């Protein structure tokens, strides 16, 4: 697959196509807490649009969200109602893409969430909603914990719903300490498999991010490191380079890798794993209304039973038989439908 990727990347891929798409969007940068933050900000023509901040993850970027901008800001042109309109803010996390590497330590998900609060305030939004997956899920949940009066609802496609004893068993390779339903057992098996076989990249970045020199030295090393993120994502991406694209095309994949290469984001993005002190899947005690999208090929498909217990104000839950870790990028229509459904109750 990497040989096919390299052949297409070197011979046919055209970065200028993406460059044109990006340059057509309103983009800005601002200094927050000593850090330059890049962000896309698209206002809806609907005067009553709900402000929404969307946070990407790793190995992602703002490119993950490009397909959802038009459906969310201009819903009537995409089969939805005018009352579903959003003003969309999509920042680049520090060290990812157009937000440069932090010059000081300490930029963990909590500090990023605090920066997003400043950003939304500067944009004039005193009440807003938030969405995130992967690292963006952690940042989004922290937003709700920091300022529940301002962050009036959140949506996540990688929620923190796993009971503590079940999560501990999945991490250790033990059997579940409690009886599980069918959906819960499936989720437990996904988590156990992930922790046992597919966490190597995160362990390395959590402990030795600065020694991943190959990510700055070789574009092929960077591509291989980014694309072998989790087994289901890899199995979705690989066929695109053999003429069988699924949710993501060859250009989708290489747009993101090229952005990382051109902005030297390999090691700076890895540092977030070293900075982080939070878990991904544990319950965070979020008290604002929450929407959960449970895509089949996410790292784990969150059961409704766990979601109801984790989020006392669960406003929306949808289980999907398709879709994976990069939901906004891969399944934008389903993703937008879920975002709209989540936030109708808080408008």
CA-CA-CA-CA torsion sign (222, 206, 168, 326):
negative
Confidence at residue 233, expressed as pLDDT on a 0 to 100 scale: 87
24 by Cβ neighbours in 10 Å (0-12 / 13-18 / 19+) ranks as exposed
Query: Helix, strand, or coil here: 68?
Result: helix
Calpha distance 129→343 (Å, rounded): 8
Instruction: Please pick, among 74, 134, 228, 252, the residue that the annotation labels catalytic.
Output: 134
Contact 346, 154 (CB under 8 A): no
Q: What's the Cα-to-Cα distance from 30 to each of 26, 38, 87, 312, rounded to whole Å?
A: 14, 7, 18, 35
Confidence at residue 244, expressed as pLDDT on a 0 to 100 scale: 87
Confidence at residue 228, expressed as pLDDT on a 0 to 100 scale: 86
Cite the DSSP H helix spans in the chain.
Answer: 2-11, 15-23, 66-73, 109-122, 135-146, 164-172, 182-197, 200-207, 214-217, 219-227, 231-237, 250-262, 266-275, 304-310, 327-330, 332-343
211 by Cβ neighbours in 10 Å (0-12 / 13-18 / 19+) ranks as exposed
User: How far is CA 98 from its chain centroid?
Assistant: 16
Confidence at residue 316, expressed as pLDDT on a 0 to 100 scale: 98
Domain ranges of the chain: 2-161+198-346
Of the candidate CATH numbers 3.40.109.10, 3.90.850.10, 3.30.420.40, 3.40.50.1820, the domain formed by 2-161+198-346 belongs to 3.40.50.1820
Which residues, in sequence order, are CB contacts of 3 under 8 Å at separation 6+? none
Confidence at residue 103, expressed as pLDDT on a 0 to 100 scale: 94
> Is the peptide bond preceding residue 121 cis, with omega within 30 degrees of 0?
no
Calpha distance 129→275 (Å, rounded): 26
Contact 123, 88 (CB under 8 A): no
Other Cβ atoms less than 10 A from the Cβ of 4: the count is 14
Contact 299, 263 (CB under 8 A): no
Calpha distance 138→95 (Å, rounded): 17
Calpha distance 198→175 (Å, rounded): 19
Other Cβ atoms less than 10 A from the Cβ of 48: the count is 9
Residue ranges of the chain with per-residue pLDDT less than 50: none
Count CA atoms within 13 Å of residue 255 on its CB side: 20
Instruction: Please pick, among 273, 297, 300, 311, the residue that the annotation labels catalytic.
Output: 273
Which residues, in sequence order, are CB contacts of 203 under 8 Å at separation 6+? none
Other Cβ atoms less than 10 A from the Cβ of 283: the count is 18
Confidence at residue 105, expressed as pLDDT on a 0 to 100 scale: 96
Is 325 noted as a catalytic residue in this protein? yes
Is 273 noted as a catalytic residue in this protein? yes
Residue 101 is classified by DSSP as P
Is 234 noted as a catalytic residue in this protein? no
């Amino acid at each position: 697959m990497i040989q096919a990727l390299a052949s297409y990347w070197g011979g046919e891929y055209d970065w200028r196509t993406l460059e044109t798409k990006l340059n057509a969007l309103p983009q800005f940068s601002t200094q927050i807490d000593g850090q330059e933050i890049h962000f896309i900000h698209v206002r809806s023509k609907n005067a009553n649009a709900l402000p929404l901040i969307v946070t990407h993850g790793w190995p992602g970027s703002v490119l993950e969200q490009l397909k959802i901008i038009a459906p969310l800001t201009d819903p009537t042109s995409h089969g939805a109602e005018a009352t579903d309109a959003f003003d969309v803010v999509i920042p680049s996390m520090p060290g990812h893409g157009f937000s440069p590497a932090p010059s000081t330590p300490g930029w963990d998900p909590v500090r990023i969430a605090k920066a997003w609060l400043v950003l939304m305030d500067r944009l004039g939004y005193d009440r807003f909603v938030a969405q995130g997956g992967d690292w963006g899920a952690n940042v989004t949940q922290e937003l709700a914990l920091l300022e529940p009066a301002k962050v009036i609802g959140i949506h996540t496609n990688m929620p923190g719903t796993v009971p503590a004893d079940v999560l501990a068993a999945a991490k250790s390779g033990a059997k579940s300490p409690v009886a599980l339903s069918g959906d819960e057992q499936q989720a437990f098996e996904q988590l156990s498999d992930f922790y046992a076989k597919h966490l190597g990249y995160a362990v390395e970045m959590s402990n030795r991010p600065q020694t991943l020199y190959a990510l700055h030295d070789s574009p092929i090393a960077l591509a291989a490191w980014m694309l072998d993120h989790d087994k289901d994502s890899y199995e979705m991406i690989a066929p695109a380079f053999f003429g069988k694209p699924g949710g993501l095309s060859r250009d989708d994949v290489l747009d993101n890798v090229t952005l990382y290469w051109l902005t030297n984001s390999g090691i700076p993005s890895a540092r977030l794993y070293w900075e982080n002190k939070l878990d991904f899947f544990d319950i965070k005690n979020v008290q604002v209304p929450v929407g959960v999208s449970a895509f089949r090929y996410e790292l784990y498909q969150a059961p409704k039973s766990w979601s109801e217990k984790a989020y006392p104000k669960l406003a929306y839950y949808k289980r999907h038989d398709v879709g994976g870790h990069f939901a906004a990028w891969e399944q934008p229509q389903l993703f937008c439908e879920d975002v709209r459904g989540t936030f109708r109750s808080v408008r």
